[in-house]
Amino acid sequence: MKRYLAAVHAVLICAHLAGCTERAAADYSPTYSDAPTAARRVYRFGVHPLHNPQRLFEVYQPLVDYVNADLDGVSIQLEASSSYAAFEDKLAGRSLHFALPNPYQTVRSQGHGYKVFAKMGDDDNFRGVILVRKDGGIRTVADLKGKAVSYPAPTAVAATMLPQWFFHTNGLDVVGDIDNRYVGSQESSIMNVALGTTAAGATWPLPWKAFMKDHPEIAQKLEVKWQTDSLPNNSMMARDDVPEAVVGKFREALLRLRSTEEGQTILARMQLSRFEAADDASYESVRVFVKRFEEQVRPLRVQP
């Protein structure tokens, strides 16, 4: 374990030294189960970059195995994406059958023929946290004027959009007053603050808790200075041509997780208490937030 943590720490340092902006060109999608036969239909399930690819597979492959145990003649195959943009391109191109997108990606994907069939619970955790160094001299939001702030990606909701909305509502011009640096991952956003490259860094509670556990000696140099309001948590979506019988099995498995010992173990890996029923209407508040954000803070895309 110490060797693993040291390796992770080294990767994070290297990412910082490289500017924390370069991502691997290819998506990471190893196979963890027996190869399907020719008669077995495989459905691709993409998860937005909540974690680095290796960690994402450690967390979500058990969920896929759990769902596959309920399926006959078909199987779900998990894949990671190299960046938020790569994941969003897959949704725009309809190359995924199932997806776990963030709330912004959810409302955008409805326009590409994806439908919400469940969502992560614990909405109170879906908020931004803004970190500063304890010795960094940042006391108020105004102290960030003229300084750099790190985020994982422009379209990360909890870790970017909600913090930028917080800055906006507390008197900062997000585009003109601060140097916004999109560094590719939650870990890199945190490390940029720890290393002093940025004056503040945004993430959300779950990556911050994981970072404190894995890197306590670095985390103790930082503090959560501000927290944002929350929005509905990440959704589960299915492409509109996936048979309802398959979608229904997936939904049933998700909703059953909290009631079984195996399911609770899977949820614990995600730092989640439950999945819950949801549909497209569950994200109307997100649609309203995105509209206000684009009108008042910055555009999220060049064209719809």
Q: Which two tokens stand for residue 29?
A: 């999608």
177 residue type, one letter: D
Task: Give 191's contacts (C-beta < 8 A, 6+ positions apart).
Answer: 12, 13, 15, 16, 20, 218
Domains of the chain (ranges; CATH) run: 31-123+232-293 (3.40.190.10), 127-230 (3.40.190.10)
Task: Give 47's contacts (C-beta < 8 A, 6+ positions apart).
Answer: 56, 60, 78, 80, 81, 99, 100
Residue 284 vs residues 35, 202, 231, 289: alpha-carbon distances, Å: 40, 25, 10, 9
> What pLDDT is stored for residue 214 in this prediction?
93
| Residue 2 pLDDT grade (very low, low, confident, very high; cuts 50, 70, 90) | very low
DSSP 242: S
- Across residues 253-261, what is the average pLDDT? 97
Pairwise CA distance, residues 189 & 195, whole Å: 10
Q: What value, to the nearest 5°, has the Cα angle with vertex 49 and ends 268 and 282?
A: 70
> What pLDDT is stored for residue 27 in this prediction?
53
| Residue 65 pLDDT grade (very low, low, confident, very high; cuts 50, 70, 90) | very high
Tell which wins on pLDDT, 40 or 231.
231
Query: Closest Cα partner for 96 from 109, 82, 111?
Result: 109
- Across residues 253-267, what is the average pLDDT? 97
Pairwise CA distance, residues 193 & 200, whole Å: 6
> Are the C-beta atoms of 222 and 134 separated by less than 8 Å?
yes
- Other beta carbons within 10 angstroms of residue 99's beta carbon come to 25
Q: What value, to the nearest 5°, has the Cα angle with vertex 210 and ends 166 and 119?
A: 65
> Are the C-beta atoms of 90 and 81 separated by less than 8 Å?
yes
With 80 as the cut, is the pLDDT of residue 39 above it? Answer: no
Q: In angstroms, how far apart are the furthest CA atoms of the chain?
A: 62
Residue 17 vs residues 14, 97, 141: alpha-carbon distances, Å: 5, 37, 27
With 60 as the cut, is the pLDDT of residue 215 above it? Answer: yes
> What pLDDT is stored for residue 162 in this prediction?
98
With 50 as the cut, is the pLDDT of residue 14 above it? Answer: no
With 70 as the cut, is the pLDDT of residue 19 above it? Answer: no
Task: Give 24's contacts (C-beta < 8 A, 6+ positions apart).
Answer: 82
Bridge partners (DSSP) of residue 237 are 99, 116
Which pLDDT tens digit goes with each residue over 144-157?
999 999 999 999 99
| Residue 40 pLDDT grade (very low, low, confident, very high; cuts 50, 70, 90) | confident
CA-based torsion, 57, 60, 64, 65: positive or negative: positive
Which pLDDT tens digit goes with each residue over 107-129?
999 999 999 999 999 999 999 99
